[in-house]
Amino acid sequence: MIFSLDKLPAAAHGYRGRFAPSPTGLLHAGSLTTAVGSYLEARRHGGEWRLRIEDLDPPREMAGAADAILATLDAFGFEWDGEVEYQSRRHHHYRAALDALVASGDAYPCACTRKQLAEHARRGVDGYVYPGSCRHGLPVGAAARAWRLAVPEGEVAFVDALQGEVGQDVAHAVGDFVLLRADGFWAYQLAVVVDDALQGITHVVRGADLLVSTPRQIALQRALGVPTPAYCHLPLMVNAAGEKLSKQTLAPAIDPAAAAAELRLALSRLGHAPPAGCETLAELWTWARAHWDLARVGAGPVSVA
């Protein structure tokens, strides 16, 4: 192991899950459904459920969103374990991870501009595939802008609890991806891997939009020598146009005053329609905790229109 892990108490019953919203907007039907699924899956295993605010990208964040997300989760009756973590307070951990990767020869500086990539790179599963221009050294006189992981050749495969077998040749589909961005901010891929490892997360339950990122995260875990958690990617919530619900697609914010109705909807979208007579938040949670079964959750997108 080249990256030393903090001493953390072992996860209760071997299961520690988490919900990790980015405060770029308020909770909407998609993020609420992810919270519900990850929470119930953790509780069904007698496990812990942690909260992590992924506030790594200030230009995209909305003032007050982190507090509003926490207040909404509280109004819904979610009970999280431990202190809420904020990525904005954890930069030293990301720095330590990058230093370890540089020392082991797994990370390298890159001087390429977006314009150069647009001219020379082909498109992959998530933007441009980095053509490896700076892998063997910066051009003479060029300064480092970003830092990248030198991704090994070969397929990264894993079994997702809902989506089944997933495989991706990261080197071919994505290329050497960014760890520290040219604008000086830490990349999501690095921060999420470092935090899941340091926080002892054993099970990652999140939206299927992130399935494309998981092989990158596993490649990074291998480079850092940290464990790979179990993954479960919940069905994507889409609008009438088939687009993922998000701030960009103008998904409306959840109204905490309508929490019981919203919780009922979220459970139904996850294949757990509560029976008539389950009306209050307390009744819905009691029923959901007793009946939650991943086998009832579909894998494909759910229309929320």
232 is in an annotated binding site: no
3-class DSSP state of 16: strand
246 is in an annotated binding site: no
Angle at 62 between CA 57 and CA 67, to 5 degrees: 105
Size of the site for ligand GLU (CB under 6 A): 7
Tokens 């993922």 belong to 244
State the minimum distance, in angstroms, from the CB of residue 10 to ligand GLU: 22
| Cβ closest to ligand GLU, residue 21 vs residue 37 | 21
Asked if 87 is part of the footprint of ligand GLU (rule: CB under 6 A), the reply reads no
206 is in an annotated binding site: yes
State the minimum distance, in angstroms, from the CB of residue 38 to ligand GLU: 8
DSSP code string of 42-108? HHHTT-EEEEEE----GGG--TTHHHHHHHHHHHHT----SPPEEGGG-HHHHHHHHHHHHHTT-EE
287 residue type, one letter: W
Asked if 192 is part of the footprint of ligand GLU (rule: CB under 6 A), the reply reads yes
Nearest partner of 200 among 13, 3, 19, 16, judged by Cα: 16
Residue of 7, 115, 244, 247 with catalytic role: 247
Question: How far are the Cα atoms of 49, 87, 99, 177, 207 from residue 180, in angstroms, in the given order?
Answer: 28, 14, 11, 9, 24
188 is in an annotated binding site: yes
- Beta-carbon contacts of 234 under 8 Å, excluding residues fewer than 6 positions away, are 33, 34, 37, 38, 162, 205, 206, 207, 208, 270, 297
State the minimum distance, in angstroms, from the CB of residue 93 to ligand GLU: 16
| Cβ closest to ligand GLU, residue 156 vs residue 210 | 210
Asked if 176 is part of the footprint of ligand GLU (rule: CB under 6 A), the reply reads no
130 is in an annotated binding site: yes
Distance, CA of 217 to CA of 229 (rounded, Å):
10
51 residue type, one letter: L
115 is catalytic: no
| Cβ closest to ligand GLU, residue 41 vs residue 54 | 54
- Stretch of 20-28, 135-143, 259-267, 293-301 contacting ligand GLU, by CB under 6 A: 20-28
Query: 41, 48, 54, 57: which one contacts ligand GLU (CB under 6 A)?
Result: 54
247 is in an annotated binding site: yes
Distance, CA of 219 to CA of 176 (rounded, Å):
11
| Cβ closest to ligand GLU, residue 54 vs residue 85 | 54
303 is in an annotated binding site: no
Asked if 26 is part of the footprint of ligand GLU (rule: CB under 6 A), the reply reads no
Asked if 210 is part of the footprint of ligand GLU (rule: CB under 6 A), the reply reads yes
| Cβ closest to ligand GLU, residue 20 vs residue 226 | 20
DSSP code string of 235-277? PPEE-TTSPBPSTTTTPPBP-GGGHHHHHHHHHHHTT-PPPTT
Contact 219, 151 (CB under 8 A): yes
What phi-psi label fits residue 13: left (phi over 0), alpha (psi between -120 and 50 degrees) or beta?
left
| Cβ closest to ligand GLU, residue 28 vs residue 145 | 28
Binding residues for L-glutamate: 18-22, 54, 188, 206
Task: Summarize the annotated binding site for Zn(2+) as residue ranges.
Answer: 110, 112, 130, 134
The binding site for ligand GLU (CB under 6 A) comprises 20-22, 54, 192, 206, 210
> Annotated catalytic sites, by residue?
247
